[in-house]
């Protein structure tokens, strides 16, 4: 459609802090975004992720720290570039379309230049979000999903250097959300605009982004690709917030880790401080009873279509959750044996200790 933005974005947040009253919304946050990336900021509600986005947008002044872009300071060090001069696009949670303007007028609002150019750009965007037939409607006459696409088109219209999205899908129902997410992802890729998405929905963050930032209580917990964050959560909190996880207490004795899933061998420098073993459900294998491994009894089976989730009570009394292929025959009260394929070690403070290696006993 149009040439990719060749200028690298190079957005940098440096030790940002922001306080509302006596609530510290953002604490010492740093992050960088280079090139046409998708960055999602994930965290529970109230963790300060929206505030972070607003600091980047220039809708809030940071108490300390700085926002820089390609070497220029946008906020911080006594400088502040107002939002209207930053050339960032924003898609709000509740769309915030101008109620007194038609769809086309909404989209045209931010475009500068000759009237004919503006019209051309509006048509281009209406086409991009497949809403050409609604151009003369008022916002209250179109559906929520359509409003969302208008909001996106409006933010893309002035060719912003960066798109900021604040929980853009949370006001839509589930099915629409999934569909629209894919659509908008496609549109943004096509336009080649770097994007920061703020969300509390982990599946949204995982599927949407190239880079992911996990936040909790105003601070950065972990950043990396979605794969890294999922596979090597830096803390037990991160592991449970992104994806499902079994946490099993273990103790170090005679050079090995002992727990309810049996005995595993790890290097002593990892094993000694380990307090908890973290196992994703898909890393537990269920096999017929007496095929080795740890014995257990099936408590509950939840069929999910492409997979099934099985709750197994281990000999020790602890209950773990395993994901198996849907064809695995298994019913409550069946005796099974549980095999451990992969795990991570965490210390007493919940911090990640080991690098993932397939260490199996």
Q: Which residues bind other proteins (CB under 8 A)?
A: 50, 54, 57, 59-60, 82-85, 87-90, 92, 94, 96, 98-100, 109-110, 112, 138, 140, 154-155, 157-158
Q: In terms of CB distance, is 201 or 210 closer to other proteins?
A: 201
Least separation in angstroms between CB 137 and other proteins = 12
**Contact of 312 with 322, CB cutoff 8 Å:** yes
Nearer to other proteins, 57 or 242 (CB): 57
Min dist CB 28 to other proteins, Å, is 21
Decide: 41 and 196 in contact? Cβ < 8 Å: yes
In whole angstroms, the minimum distance from the beta carbon of 97 to other proteins comes to 8
Nearer Cβ to other proteins (29/53): 53
Nearest approach in angstroms of CB 65 to other proteins is: 19
In angstroms, the CA 323 to CA 286 distance is 9
Q: Report yes or no: 56 and 88 within 8 Å, Cβ to Cβ.
A: yes
Q: Is 190 left (phi over 0), alpha (psi -120 to 50) or beta?
A: alpha
Which of 62, 155, 64 has the alpha carbon at shortest distance from 107? 155
CB nearer other proteins, residue 89 or residue 293: 89
- Using DSSP bridges, classify how beta strands 211-216 and 38-42 pair: parallel, antiparallel or unpaired: parallel
Closer residue to other proteins, CB minimum distance, 72 or 85:
85
CA atoms within 13 A on the CB side of 131: 29
Q: Taking the complex as a whole, how short is the minimal distance between the CB of residue 271 and other proteins, in angstroms?
A: 47
Q: Is 34 helix (H, G, I), strand (E, B) or coil?
A: coil
For other proteins, the closer of residues 171 and 219 by Cβ is: 171
Minimal distance in Å, beta carbon 291 to other proteins?
55
User: Measured from the CB atom, is 109 or 252 closer to other proteins?
Assistant: 109
Within 8 A by CB and 6+ apart from 42, the residues are 49, 199, 200, 201, 202, 205, 212, 213, 214, 215, 241, 242
- In whole angstroms, how close is the CB of 127 to other proteins at the nearest point? 20
Question: At which residue do the structure tokens 């994703």 appear?
Answer: 280
Q: Supply 165's token pair.
A: 């999205």
């Amino acid at each position: 459609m149009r040439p990719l933005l060749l200028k690298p974005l190079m957005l940098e947040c440096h030790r940002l802090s922001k306080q509302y009253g006596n609530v510290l919304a953002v604490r010492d946050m740093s992050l960088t975004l280079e090139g046409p990336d998708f960055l999602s900021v994930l965290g529970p509600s109230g963790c300060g992720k929206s505030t972070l986005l607003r600091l980047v947008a220039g809708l809030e002044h940071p108490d300390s720290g700085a926002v820089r872009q390609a070497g220029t300071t946008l906020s911080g060090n006594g400088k502040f570039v107002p939002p209207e001069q930053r050339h960032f696009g924003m898609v709000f949670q509740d769309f915030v379309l101008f109620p007194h303007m038609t769809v086309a007028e909404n989209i045209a609002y931010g475009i500068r230049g000759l009237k004919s150019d503006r019209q051309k750009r509006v048509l281009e965007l209406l086409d991009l979000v497949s809403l050409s037939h609604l151009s003369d409607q008022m916002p209250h006459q179109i559906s929520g999903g359509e409003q969302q696409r208008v909001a996106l088109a409006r933010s893309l219209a002035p060719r912003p250097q960066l798109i900021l999205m604040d929980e853009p899908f949370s006001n839509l129902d589930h099915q629409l959300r999934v569909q629209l997410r894919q659509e908008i992802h496609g549109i943004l890729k096509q336009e080649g605009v770097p994007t920061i998405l703020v969300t509390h929905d982990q599946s949204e963050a995982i599927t949407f982004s190239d880079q992911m930032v996990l936040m909790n209580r105003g601070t950065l917990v972990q950043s990396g690709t979605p794969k890294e964050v999922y596979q090597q959560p830096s803390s037990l909190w991160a592991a449970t917030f992104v994806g499902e996880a079994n946490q099993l207490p273990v103790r170090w004795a005679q050079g090995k880790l002992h727990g309810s899933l049996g005995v595993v061998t790890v290097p002593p420098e990892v094993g000694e401080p380990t307090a908890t073993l973290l196992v994703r459900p898909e890393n537990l294998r269920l096999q017929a009873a007496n095929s080795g491994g740890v014995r257990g009894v099936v408590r509950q089976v939840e069929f999910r279509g492409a997979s099934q989730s099985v709750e197994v009570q281990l000999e020790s009394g602890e209950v773990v959750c395993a994901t198996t292929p849907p064809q695995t025959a298994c019913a409550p009260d069946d005796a099974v044996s549980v095999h451990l394929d992969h795990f991570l070690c965490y210390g007493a403070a919940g911090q990640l200790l080991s690098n993932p290696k397939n260490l199996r006993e």
